[in-house]
Amino acid sequence: MKGSGIEITKELTIPKLFLSQCRKYGDKKVAMREKEFGIWIPFTWQDYYENVKYLTLGMVSLGLQRGDKVAMIGDNRPEGLWAEMAAMCAGAIGVWLFQDCMMDEVKYIIDHSDAKIFVGESQEEVDKALSIKDTCPKLDIIMWDDPKGMRNYHQDFLISVKRVQELGRELDREKPDLFEKTINEGHGDDICLLFYTSGTTALPKGALLSHWNMLTMGRNLMAVDPCYDTDDFVSYLPFAWIGEQMMSISCGLQMGYTINFPEGPDLAQENIREIGPHVMFAPPRMYEGMTRQVQVKYIDSTWIKRKVYEFGTKVGYKVASLKFEKKPVSVGLKFLNWISSMTMQKKLKDHLGMSRLRHCYTGGAAMGPDHFKFFHALGVNLKQIYGQTEVAGISIVHRDGDIKFDTVGTPIPETEIKITEEGEILTKSPSVFQGYYKNDEATKKTLIDGWLYSGDRGFIDEDGHLVVFDRSKDVMTLNDGRPFSPQYLETRLKFSPFVREVWAIGDKREFISAVMCIDYAVVGKWADDKKLNYTSYPELSQKPEVYELVKKQIQEANKDLPEPARIRKFVNLYKVFDADDEELTRTSKLKRAFVENRYKDIVNALYSDVDVVHMDTTITYEDGREQRIKTDLHIEKISA
């Protein structure tokens, strides 16, 4: 069975669709599973319905009204999705926060969004809410669902999800038809989600998305790559990321596939393997992590296994490149590919949880061609997606059989793409958002005549595929005057398992240079094998042997680059870029303007004639503590 069979109209809302899906599947089908206490616990659509219903009514009896905001934070779990659905059913607007948000970010978003109810998972989130309660006067109620550690909290405004549901039951007895009545009052043009985008430059902006935006988004993606209600999906990326909302709500609800929640963030990879999902959507860093894992295991394995892997990937790369070029694969090569599939690809895919995968997408940031080819060589149908929060998810995707590793594909139905003279990518579709919350100025700049101005630079190639170059403001000019994408260079370098993060510098400069962050685990292991002594990341990063290692990785990447784009100098940073230090956004994109200011000493040193740069800075730990670091960084030259 494909799709809900329900036509998406302006009248339809997510809660209305939810109601009809619950009626259709009832207790005959599993809506979601959560791994808890070591076993997968199923929830049928009937369970889903009841939990959401009483939670909605409970929130209503606590005073939630149409248009109010409900802020939510916590790991992916059924209760999180119930709370979001309940908020929408009550006609309220959901606001998700990233689980690892620092206090000021939480405070800013709660305050700016005018949230009335805060739904946290456990003591940790409750503590966050309590510490900002006084400064956010509009926040009325704090809810939690995990009782662990909550025994000493007795404030009136604290209430458990269970207790809220009891209140809901009481209200249901008084007014039995209230739930459905409230749902029926909704309209497709109502706002359902307020999404704070992780700004690379300024404070986060709140994008307003309507039911119509979310539902058309899901419909148009599913028209390209249909899913089925027998499919499985694993929800483990933050709900505060639009991609996860797209899969769990927009597509998930329409298709009725089963959503699986892992036991915890550190168990996600293992749990994905147990489920073997049919569809997957993750930002490039997840795939980069998988690639790194495979590369490291390869280095560590026995001779015979390495040979099998080398044979398998060699054949895989050949087949993949023929497919990219849309050339036929010869019978002999098909046979070799079959052998490689039996001996290597199948096993590896099983370990990565990709054995049943039909579609798998990457989006949210740029992915390097090397990573992309790597997965295709494994026989994984990986596709690029291009989109943003402001179009409720995505607007461009690769089609089966028409995948090019340097493009992001072609527009999904009902979507138009236009490139301005300056090269900016514009999008028009029913999913384009309603504007930024309390920020007309930004809305006016972004939404003009129904066109969404993305701020990304790109072009459309001869096959009609969109090529995303980079963020317009990030595009660099090389010494020969050509434009160049630093992101491209960075993603190429990140294909090396030893390299965790890269920051390429060189706009309008004489040559390109780079700040490198080594991968502590992988380089640490490499150093152990070489019997190098080190005690910390800063020390390891400054070892001459490690510099030599990083230099080799850069030289490798330099080979395929035009002369002016080659990296001529680099420095190993004493730490990895971190979102807690505001160097990355919560979705792991480098904030260039910020790092440029923060590390201006390094930049200056890279472009002057010195060998060493003295650093004296503070770093912030996740719990807010700070540490001062004083160190000398060596600058290494790479000869032409």
Between strands 30-36 and 115-119, the pairing is unpaired
**DSSP run (H or E) holding 620:** strand 612-620
Q: How far is the CB of 618 from other proteins (least distance, A)?
A: 18
Shortest spacing between CB 299 and other proteins, in angstroms: 19
Q: Does 303 bind other proteins (CB under 8 A)?
A: no
Residue 38 or residue 328: which is nearer to other proteins going by CB? 38
End-to-end CA distance of the chain: 60
- The Cα 81–Cα 135 span in angstroms is 27
In the window 514-543, what residues touch other proteins (CB under 8 A)?
A: none
CB of 121 to other proteins, least distance (A): 13
Q: Minimum distance from CB of 266 to other proteins (Å)?
A: 4
**Closest residue by Cα to residue 190 from 113, 91, 64, 114:** 91
In angstroms, the CA 93 to CA 543 distance is 52
Helix, strand or coil for residue 396?
strand
Q: Of 270-289, which residues contact other proteins (CB under 8 A)? A: 270
**Which CB, 148 or 438, lies closer to other proteins?**
148
Q: What is the closest distance, in whole angstroms, from the C-beta atom of residue 75 to other proteins in the complex? A: 12
Beta carbon nearer to other proteins, 56 or 76: 76
What is the token pair recorded at 74?
Answer: 């916590």
The nearer residue to other proteins, 170 or 350, going by C-beta atoms, is 350
| Residue 606 CB coordination number (10 Å) | 23
Q: Could you tell me which stretch among 75-83, 208-216, 266-274, 443-451 binds other proteins (CB under 8 A)?
A: 266-274
Burial of 407 (0-12, 13-18, 19+ CB in 10 A): buried
Backbone angles phi, psi at 5, to 5 degrees: 75, 5
Q: How many amino acids of this chain bind other proteins (CB under 8 A)?
A: 11
Identify which of 365, 411, 408 has the alpha carbon closest to the alpha carbon of residue 391. 411
Cα–Cα distance, 141 to 126 (Å, whole number)? 11
Instruction: Return the number of the residue (11 or 124) whose C-beta is nearest other proteins.
Output: 124
Q: Tokens 């080190």 identify what position?
A: 534
Closest CA to 286 of 81, 494, 469: 494
Of the candidate residues 145, 263, 470, 519, the single one contacting other proteins (CB under 8 A): 263
Instruction: Compute the residue count for the chain.
Output: 640
**Looking at beta carbons only, is 1 or 267 nearer to other proteins?**
267
Closest distance of CB 127 from other proteins, Å: 12
Query: Which range of residues in 133-141, 265-273, 354-362, 543-551 is near other proteins by CB under 8 A?
Result: 265-273
Which part of the chain contacts other proteins (CB under 8 A), choosing from 187-195, 258-266, 278-286, 500-508? Answer: 258-266
Report the residue number, 300 or 548, with the smaller CB distance to other proteins.
300
To other proteins, the closest distance from the beta carbon of 537 in angstroms equals 15
Binding mask 100-139 for other proteins (x = CB under 8 A): ----------------------------------------
Residue 417: strand pairing partners: 427
- In the chain, the amino acid numbered 387 is G
Cα–Cα distance measured from residue 482 to residue 506, given in angstroms and rounded to the nearest whole number: 12
Binding mask 133-172 for other proteins (x = CB under 8 A): ---------------xx-x---------------------
Hey, what amino acid is at 139?
L
Closer to other proteins by Cβ: residue 108 or 534: 534
> Which of 42, 226, 264, 524: binder of other proteins (CB under 8 A)?
264
Residue closer to other proteins by CB (options 129, 268) is 268
Question: Measured from the CB atom, is 67 or 149 closer to other proteins?
Answer: 149
Contact 540, 518 (CB under 8 A): yes
Using the rule CB under 8 A, which residue among 134, 156, 177, 266 binds other proteins? 266
- Under 8 Å CB-to-CB from 600, ≥6 apart: which residues? none
Alpha-carbon torsion, ordered 624, 629, 634, 637, to 10 deg: 30
Please state the closest distance from residue 267 (CB atom) to other proteins, in A. 5
| 266 or 440: CB nearest other proteins | 266
Strands, sheet with 141-144, edge to edge from the N-terminal-most edge strand: 158-160, 141-144, 115-119, 69-72, 93-96, 191-197, 205-210
- Which amino acid belongs to residue 423? G
State the Cα–Cα distance between residues 392 and 348, nearest whole angstrom. 33
Q: Name the segment binding other proteins (CB under 8 A); options: 107-115, 131-139, 262-270, 377-385.
A: 262-270
Q: Give φ, ψ of 633 to 5 degrees.
A: -110, 135
Tokens encoding 249: 């709500």
Query: What contacts 230, CB < 8 A, 6 or more positions away?
Result: 257
Burial class (CB within 10 angstroms; exposed 0-12, middle 13-18, buried 19+) of 156? exposed
Q: From 164-172, 260-268, 290-298, 427-435, give the range in contact with other proteins by CB under 8 A.
A: 260-268
CB of 48 to other proteins, least distance (A): 23
Q: In this complex, which beta carbon is closest to other proteins, that of residue 128 or of residue 211? A: 128
Per CB under 8 A, the list member of 41, 103, 203, 267 interacting with other proteins is: 267
Binding positions for other proteins, 9-68, rule CB under 8 A: 37-39
Binding mask 312-351 for other proteins (x = CB under 8 A): ----------------------------------------
Closest to other proteins by CB, 84 or 263? 263
Q: Rule CB under 8 A: which residues touch other proteins?
A: 37-39, 148-149, 151, 263-264, 266-267, 270
